[in-house]
Amino acid sequence: MQHIVIIGNGISGVTLARHIRKLSDKNITIISAESEYFFSRTALMYVYMGHMKFEHTQPYENHFWKKNRIGLVHGYVKQVNAKNKNVLLSDGKTITYDSLVIATGSKPNKFGWPGQDLEGVQGLYSKQDLEKLEQNAPNKDQCKRAVIVGGGLIGIEMAEMLRSRDIPVTFLVRETSFWNGVLPKGESAMINEHIKEHHIDLRLDTNLKEILPDENGRAKAVVTDKGETIKCDVVGLTAGVTPNIDFLKDSGIELGKGVKVDRLLETNIKDIYAIGDCAEQQEPIGNRRPVEAVWYTGRMMGEALAQTLCGNPMEYNPGHWFNSAKFLDIEYQTYGWVFSERTKKDYESHFHWRHPKEKISITIAFHKETNLFLGINNFGIRLRHELFDRWLNEKRTIQYVLEHFKDANFDPELYDTYEDDIISKYNADFNQNIRPKNKSWKRILNLH
């Protein structure tokens, strides 16, 4: 029986294994050094905050793996030997494979800051990082202040975590406004306000210069490029992630930033594949980046590769871009492409609406000339994925989208609705006369 070995038990590797099992009887082995069973990485923050226990982050009960004949090996792969088709574990064991899939995810970026390897300096990616944070910052007495470096999604999550234990947080953000490389300025400004509402000391346009050690080699302060020294007990490095592929250096597998793969997710060596955060497309797909460290893309690569490995070659062909996040108390979803002022295309125009009091807003991107709907960012309002995916497929205009905006509302029942306000703002901004249609189940579910 053919043996498929998967390195890494994150969402990509596990999705792949599940789908292979559905399609075939092949032997499957998943190797992970991080944890015995699959858990949801995105949920680690809730363990520190006391919303969940670690076991709750595991989507499958422990008996699932045996029942589905998915072998789990708790170990660290030191080396891949492509010639003999085996992998060498750090405990000296070797495992041979017929097909090998690298799904090792990412690790936090470190940009060579002086002091970046001191005690008390850490990223937030793995289960081990969570355990480390529990040691480093158990409470506000042992951690009198934390400094977080890097204003992205993990940075703001780490700030939220520490604040849940009343630990004072200083948040260094390189950009002049939070995440404004991705978010248009109105939204980015709204998140700035919200961060401050949560009593987080937000320092925009500020970089880390160095981390100072105390006599025991622990971090005791950071120095910023503004010349300020901030005393702290913990430094969180959250300036993005990079593929976790150091162990492949001498394997003969072609590496760039990540493991280079073609559209079938195969590397330069036959029968070796890479999926998820650690895979790098030779050519970017559409507006996507060659390396996409996103939960959903990892899952989609797993779904596609399972077909290929089970005799039904299938290119990785993601559909319309979507993503979501939560900034403290503000939920964010996005469908299609909305670029920030920094990355905006020439043809891209924006319509922005923000609630006069609440932290609720949307930005719709559309084509300047054709009015083609390009994408939407929504904050504090939930919208239906299925509808936006369909509207993008059908190449609808922004007018059509707004006219049918009530169909897309996904907020809980009995919530206030804002479609009328949004549409009148659009009508006023662009001198239009759109009237919203009432919600129709027939349209939503595409029933005929």
User: Which parts of 129-148 interact with other proteins (CB under 8 A)?
Assistant: 130-131, 134-135, 138-142
Stretch that binds other proteins, among 178-186, 368-376, 396-404, 405-413 (CB under 8 A): 405-413
Phi-psi region of 311 (alpha: psi -120 to 50; beta: other; left: phi over 0): left
Verify binding: residue 288, other proteins, rule CB under 8 A. Answer: no
User: Is the distance from CB of 351 to CB of 401 less than 8 angstroms?
Assistant: no
The least distance separating other proteins from the CB of residue 444, rounded to whole angstroms, comes to 8
Stretch that binds other proteins, among 29-37, 228-236, 252-260, 317-325 (CB under 8 A): 317-325
- The CA distance from 384 to 333, in Å, is 10
- The CA distance from 260 to 279, in Å, is 6
Sites for other proteins among residues 411-430 (CB under 8 A):
411-416
Q: Which of 5, 11, 245, 255 binds other proteins (CB under 8 A)?
A: 11
Site size with other proteins, rule: CB under 8 A: 72
Verify binding: residue 319, other proteins, rule CB under 8 A. Answer: yes
115 vs 336, which CB is nearer to other proteins?
A: 336
Q: Which residues pair with 171 in a beta bridge?
A: 148, 202
Stretch that binds other proteins, among 86-94, 268-276, 345-353, 376-384 (CB under 8 A): 376-384
Query: Edge-to-edge, what's the strand order for the sheet holding 361-367?
Result: 322-327, 330-336, 373-379, 361-367, 348-354
The least distance separating other proteins from the CB of residue 231, rounded to whole angstroms, comes to 20
211 vs 381, which CB is nearer to other proteins?
A: 381
Sites for other proteins among residues 37-96 (CB under 8 A):
40, 42-43, 46-47, 49-54, 56-59, 61
Sites for other proteins among residues 219-258 (CB under 8 A):
none
Verify binding: residue 395, other proteins, rule CB under 8 A. Answer: no
- The CA distance from 7 to 392, in Å, is 35
3-state secondary structure at position 440:
coil
The count of C-alpha atoms lying within 13 angstroms of the C-alpha of 316, restricted to the half-sphere facing its C-beta, is 34
The single-letter DSSP state of residue 54 is G
Verify binding: residue 284, other proteins, rule CB under 8 A. Answer: no
The count of C-alpha atoms lying within 13 angstroms of the C-alpha of 181, restricted to the half-sphere facing its C-beta, is 9
7 vs 304, which CB is nearer to other proteins?
A: 304
Verify binding: residue 322, other proteins, rule CB under 8 A. Answer: yes
User: Is the distance from CB of 394 to CB of 414 less than 8 angstroms?
Assistant: no
Helices then strands, each counted (H, E), the chain: 12, 25
Paired tokens of 324? 């979501």
Q: Which of 384, 425, 437, 443 binds other proteins (CB under 8 A)?
A: 384
The least distance separating other proteins from the CB of residue 445, rounded to whole angstroms, comes to 5
Sites for other proteins among residues 163-202 (CB under 8 A):
164-166, 197-198
Q: Which residues pair with 330 in a beta bridge?
A: 327
166 vs 228, which CB is nearer to other proteins?
A: 166
Geometric angle at alpha carbon 164, from 162 and 170, rounded to 5°: 35
Number of neighbouring beta carbons within 10 Å of residue 329: 11
Verify binding: residue 33, other proteins, rule CB under 8 A. Answer: no
312 vs 433, which CB is nearer to other proteins?
A: 312
Q: Which of 317, 431, 433, 438 binds other proteins (CB under 8 A)?
A: 317
Phi-psi region of 127 (alpha: psi -120 to 50; beta: other; left: phi over 0): alpha
Give the type of residue at 345: K
Verify binding: residue 444, other proteins, rule CB under 8 A. Answer: yes
Stretch that binds other proteins, among 116-124, 264-272, 367-375, 381-389 (CB under 8 A): 381-389
Verify binding: residue 307, other proteins, rule CB under 8 A. Answer: yes
Geometric angle at alpha carbon 33, from 27 and 36, rounded to 5°: 70
Verify binding: residue 214, other proteins, rule CB under 8 A. Answer: no
